[in-house]
Structure 1
Amino acid sequence: MLSKPIKEMTILEKTNMAYDLMKDDDAVKGQAAQVETLLEKLKSEDITVAVIGQFKRGKSALANRILGDDVLPVGIVPITSAVTKVRYGKRQAEVHYENGVVEPVEFERLHEFISEQENSNNELGVQSVELKTPSKFLKNGLTFVDTPGVGSYHKNNTEVAYEHMKESDAVIFLLSVDSPINQIEIDFLKNTKEFAAKFYFAVNKIDVVSEAELKAYTDYCGMLLKQLMGKDDVRLFPVSAKTGQGIDDLKDAVLRDCKKNTREIMEASTAKKLADVINSAATQLDFYWSAMNLEYKELDKRFAAINKTLEDVRSKADACEGNFDVHLNEYKLMLSETVKDLFGMEYHYEIDTVRYGVIDMDREDFLKNVDDLCDDLTKTLDRILLYREENAYTVCHRINAINRLSRNLRRIRDSLTGERR
C-alpha cells in the first residue's frame, strides 16, 4: 500500500516507484534500464546541454566557440553524423562503437568517424564520440552535446538527432539569419520540447546582415517561437560562430540557469522523459499481449526460428578464435534484433564496454557466456510468453501481474502529464 497518493509524490519518488514496478519484469526490462538512468542523472544533477537544429546552421562551429576549444571538426558539407559528447577533463577523444568497443583516437582523426563523407550512413557502427577538454564552460559538471543536423539528404543523421533529443535536459536550438524558420525546424522543435526542460534560441551568422535585417528576423522568429512554445518569455540570442559576437551572453545565460536552477531543470526534464518511457513500456506490453495470444501453431513457428538463431550463435561461437568480448556483444545485438523481428518485443541486453586492445575474456569463459546467453533467452521467452504453459494458476498469476503493472504505470504517467498541462 502506498504511503501517500501519487499526486503528492516528488519526481524522484515517482521515478523510484516506476523503476521498482518495472525492474523485475522481463517484458519491460529495457524501459527499466532507462528509468534507472533517469534516477542516476536526477540524483547526481548531471545536466546534459545539447546543440540541435537543422543541418548547416553552424552547430559544431558554435559548440567550439562556447567551449573555447576547436575540438569539433567543421566543414562546408554536413560533418556531424554521430552524437558527440563533451565533458570536462584532460584533452582526449574516444570513439564508442555500437558493439561496445571503445577506441582512443587523435582529435585530428575525428572527421573519419563523424563525417558523413567518410562514414556514410554510419557504416563504421559508431554509437557516439566522447571528448574531454578543460573548458571552463564544463567545469561544474555539464555534459555538452553536438548532434547531427536534421533535414539533410542523409536520413541516418536525422534519425540520430531525433533519438538523442530525448536525452537532453537543456537545449540550444540553433537558427540562422540566412533562412527563415521552416517546417523541418518547427517539427523538430515540437518533438524536442516534449523532452527538454529549458531552451535557448540562438540565431547564428549575424555578421552577414545589417542591424535592421537582424531586427526584422528576430521579431518574426520571436513571434513564431512564442506560439510554438506556448509562452511569452522566449529569448533569442543573436550570435556569430565565426566572429564570436554574442557568444558570451549565451554562455552566461546557460551557466547561470544550470547553477541556480539545476534541480528545477532536472525535475522538469525527468518528468517529461519518464512519461515517455512509461508510454514506451505500455506499447511494449501491448506487443507482449499480442505475442502471448498467438496461436500455438504460429508460436511454434517463431520459437523454431529463435532456436535456429541460437544454434547459429553457438556455431559461430565455436568457430571464434579471438575478440571474444566483442563477439559476445554482437550476439546480444543479433538476438535482440531477432526477438524484435519475431515477436515485436524489445529484448534488452547490457552491452559491455570493451577497451580497444584489452583482452578480458578467454575462450572457455566466452563459450560458457554464450551458452548462458542462449539458455537465458529460451527460458525467459518461455516464461513471459507462457509458451506451452498448462498450469492455470501460473497463467492467471501472470495475467494479473501484467494488468497490475499496466494500471500502476498509467497512474504515474497520468500524474506526470497532468502536472505538465
Structure 2
Amino acid sequence: MLEKPIREMTTREKAARAYRLLSEDEAVRGQARAARTLLEKLEDQDMTVAVVGQFKRGKSALSNRILGEDVLPVGIVPITSAVTRVKYGERRVEVRYENGICEEIPESDLHRFISEQENRNNELGVAEVVLQAPSGFLKSGLTFVDTPGVGSFHKNNTEVAYDHMKESDAVIFLLSVDSPINQIEIDFLRNTRNFAARFYFAVNKIDTVSPADLGEYLKYCESVLEQLMGEKEIRIFPVSARTGEGVEELKAVIQADLGEQARSIMEMSTAKKLIDVIDRAVEQLDFYWKAMNMEYKELDRRFEEIEKTMTDIRARAAACEGGFHLHLNEYKMELSRRVKELFGMEYHYDIDMLKLGILDMDRQTFVQKTEELCSDLKQTLDRILLYREENAYTVCHRINAINRLLRELRRIRDSLAQDLSQT
C-alpha cells in the first residue's frame, strides 16, 4: 500500500513518518526517541502547562494559587533550582535524579531539593521532582510544571528553564509590575514561542501599584507583546499571587481552552516541537558527515580515545563492589559525553529509573552488561562512521541512504512549517 503524500498527512501521521525515518538510522537515535515521545504525547493527549519567566516574578506563588494548594515553597529568598512537575493524585513527592535514582520524600523536605539556597546549582543532581496533588485544576489529566527562573546569578537555573520550556504545550508567561519587560524576558519568550502552542500572559503583584499605574503598565506590555508575538490583540491577565486577585479568571480561561481546544493545541505544539527535532537531526547528520570525512589519522586518534574510556570503564566495573544498576547508568552517561566530545555526535541511552531499595543485579550480570555497553558502542561507531571501510559499494550505499533521509526529513519539516503558517 502506497503511503499518502506528506502534504495530505495529519500532524500525527507526519510525526509517525518522522519517527519511522529517524529510527532506521543509528546516527540520529536521540532524535528518534524524541519523535517517539512527541507521538505518544499526541496520541495520549498528554498536555503540559508550564509557568515560565524571569526569576523572582512569583512563579511558585502563582502556581500554588492556580493549583489551589500550597504545594511549592515560596518566600522572600527561595529561588527554584529544579523543575517540579505536578500531577493529579494522592499527595506524594518523588525526586528523580540525573543518574536514574528515584526517591520518595516527605513533602516537608521538598525545599531541600528545589530551592537554590539548599541545592545550589543543583549540586544534588536532581533531574526533576514529581509531585502528586488532588488539585481540581489537574483532574482532567494536565501536567503542571513550575520552572526555575531565567536571568538569575545561577546559570544552571537558566539552562534548566530553557531545556524544559521545550516540553511545554501551553505556557503561562509571568511578568511583574515591579519591572518593565527586559531583554532577558524578550529572548526567553522568542525561544518559547517556537515550542508552545498557547500563551497566557499574566502580570503579577498588581496589589502593589495604583490602578492608574497598572493601566499604564498593561498598555506598555500589550504594545511590546503584540510586536514580539506578531499578533494584533494580546490578552493580559492582571493577577496577585499574594491576594489571589485575578487568578480565578486566568484559571477559567485556561481550563476552557484546554478543554475545548485540547486537540488543536496538542497538534500545533507537536508540529512546532517536531520541526525542532528534525532541525536537530539535520544538524546531527552534518556533524556525522564531518566526523566521517576526517582524515584517518585524526579519526584513529579519536577512536583510540573512546577505546581508552571504555577500557577504564571495564576496569572500574571489574573492581565494583555494589550499586551495579546505578554504576551502569553512570557508564551510559559517561559514554554519551565522550562521544559528544570526540565526534560531535549525540549518542543517547535510556537511563533506567531506579527505586531505592530495589534488588540489585548480580556481579556477573553487571560485568556482562558493561561489556555489552562498550562493545555495542564500538560496533555502532564503526558502522555509522564507516571506520576503515574499504568496500566502495558499502560507502556509496551509506551516502545514498543519508541523502534520502535528509530529503524526506526536510519535506516533513517544510510541510509542518506550512501548516503552522496557515493557522
- SS of the equivalent of 2:199 reads strand
**Between the two proteins, what is the percent identity of the paired residues?**
68
| Superposed displacement of residue 52, structure 1 | 0.2
Moved more, 73-82 or 185-194: 73-82
Whether the aligned pair in 1 keeps the contact of 2:55 and 2:79 (CA below 8 Å) is no
Whether the aligned pair in 2 keeps the contact of 1:287 and 1:344 (CA below 8 Å) is yes
Partner of 1:161: 161
Partner of 1:240: 240
- SS of the equivalent of 2:201 reads strand
**Aligned residue identity for 2:113:** F
Q: Distance in 2 between matches of 1:284 and 1:178?
A: 43
**Aligned residue identity for 1:199:** F
Q: Distance in 1 between matches of 2:13 and 2:276?
A: 17
**Aligned residue identity for 2:254:** V
Whether the aligned pair in 2 keeps the contact of 1:323 and 1:359 (CA below 8 Å) is no
Q: Distance in 2 between matches of 1:78 and 1:344?
A: 37
Whether the aligned pair in 1 keeps the contact of 2:83 and 2:145 (CA below 8 Å) is yes
Q: Distance in 1 between matches of 2:106 and 2:331?
A: 30
Q: Within 5 A, what are the aligned runs for 1:77-116?
A: 77-116=77-116
Q: Distance in 1 between matches of 2:104 and 2:267?
A: 34
| Superposed displacement of residue 118, structure 1 | 1.4
Partner of 1:32: 32
**Aligned residue identity for 2:398:** R
Whether the aligned pair in 1 keeps the contact of 2:148 and 2:158 (CA below 8 Å) is yes
State the Cα RMSD in Å.
1.0
Gaps of 5+ in 1: none
Q: Distance in 2 between matches of 1:193 and 1:121?
A: 26
Partner of 2:131: 131
Q: Within 5 A, what are the aligned runs for 1:88-237?
A: 88-237=88-237
Per the normalisation by structure 2, the TM-score is: 0.98
Whether the aligned pair in 1 keeps the contact of 2:202 and 2:237 (CA below 8 Å) is yes
Whether the aligned pair in 2 keeps the contact of 1:147 and 1:161 (CA below 8 Å) is yes
Whether the aligned pair in 1 keeps the contact of 2:323 and 2:360 (CA below 8 Å) is no
Deviation digits for residues 181-225 of structure 1 (CA, Å, limit 9, x no counterpart): 111111111110000000000110111111111111111111211
Q: Within 5 A, what are the aligned runs for 1:8-27?
A: 8-27=8-27
Q: Distance in 2 between matches of 1:287 and 1:170?
A: 32
Q: Distance in 2 between matches of 1:23 and 1:361?
A: 30
Deviation digits for residues 385-420 of structure 1 (CA, Å, limit 9, x no counterpart): 000111111111111111110110011111111222
Whether the aligned pair in 1 keeps the contact of 2:58 and 2:241 (CA below 8 Å) is yes
Partner of 1:344: 344
Partner of 1:59: 59
Q: Distance in 2 between matches of 1:217 and 1:393?
A: 67
**Aligned residue identity for 1:299:** L
| Superposed displacement of residue 78, structure 1 | 4.4
- SS of the equivalent of 1:181 reads coil
Q: Distance in 2 between matches of 1:130 and 1:343?
A: 34
**Aligned residue identity for 1:210:** S
Q: 4+ runs of 1 displaced by more than 6 Å?
A: none
**Aligned residue identity for 1:91:** R
Q: Distance in 2 between matches of 1:186 and 1:215?
A: 21
Partner of 1:395: 395
Whether the aligned pair in 2 keeps the contact of 1:95 and 1:103 (CA below 8 Å) is yes
- SS of the equivalent of 1:301 reads helix
- SS of the equivalent of 2:175 reads strand
Q: Distance in 1 between matches of 2:2 and 2:50?
A: 37
Per the normalisation by structure 1, the TM-score is: 0.99
Whether the aligned pair in 2 keeps the contact of 1:30 and 1:348 (CA below 8 Å) is yes
Deviation digits for residues 70-115 of structure 1 (CA, Å, limit 9, x no counterpart): 1111122342111110000010001100000001111111111111
Whether the aligned pair in 2 keeps the contact of 1:55 and 1:78 (CA below 8 Å) is no
Whether the aligned pair in 1 keeps the contact of 2:326 and 2:354 (CA below 8 Å) is yes
**Aligned residue identity for 2:358:** V
Q: Distance in 1 between matches of 2:301 and 2:276?
A: 33
| Superposed displacement of residue 360, structure 1 | 3.9
- SS of the equivalent of 1:167 reads coil
Deviation digits for residues 11-58 of structure 1 (CA, Å, limit 9, x no counterpart): 001000000001121100000000000000000011100000000000
**Aligned residue identity for 2:145:** V
Q: Distance in 1 between matches of 2:2 and 2:156?
A: 44
Whether the aligned pair in 2 keeps the contact of 1:86 and 1:145 (CA below 8 Å) is yes
Whether the aligned pair in 1 keeps the contact of 2:287 and 2:343 (CA below 8 Å) is yes
Q: Within 5 A, what are the aligned runs for 1:248-327?
A: 248-327=248-327
| Superposed displacement of residue 2, structure 1 | 5.1
Whether the aligned pair in 2 keeps the contact of 1:73 and 1:79 (CA below 8 Å) is no
Partner of 1:73: 73
- SS of the equivalent of 2:151 reads coil
**Aligned residue identity for 1:286:** D
Q: Distance in 2 between matches of 1:67 and 1:363?
A: 46
Moved more, 167-176 or 114-123: 114-123
Q: Distance in 2 between matches of 1:253 and 1:289?
A: 48
Whether the aligned pair in 2 keeps the contact of 1:79 and 1:111 (CA below 8 Å) is no
Q: Distance in 1 between matches of 2:70 and 2:56?
A: 17
Whether the aligned pair in 2 keeps the contact of 1:240 and 1:246 (CA below 8 Å) is yes
- SS of the equivalent of 1:151 reads coil
- SS of the equivalent of 1:57 reads coil
Q: Distance in 1 between matches of 2:184 and 2:277?
A: 25
**Aligned residue identity for 2:386:** L
Deviation digits for residues 283-322 of structure 1 (CA, Å, limit 9, x no counterpart): 0000000000011111111111111100100111111111
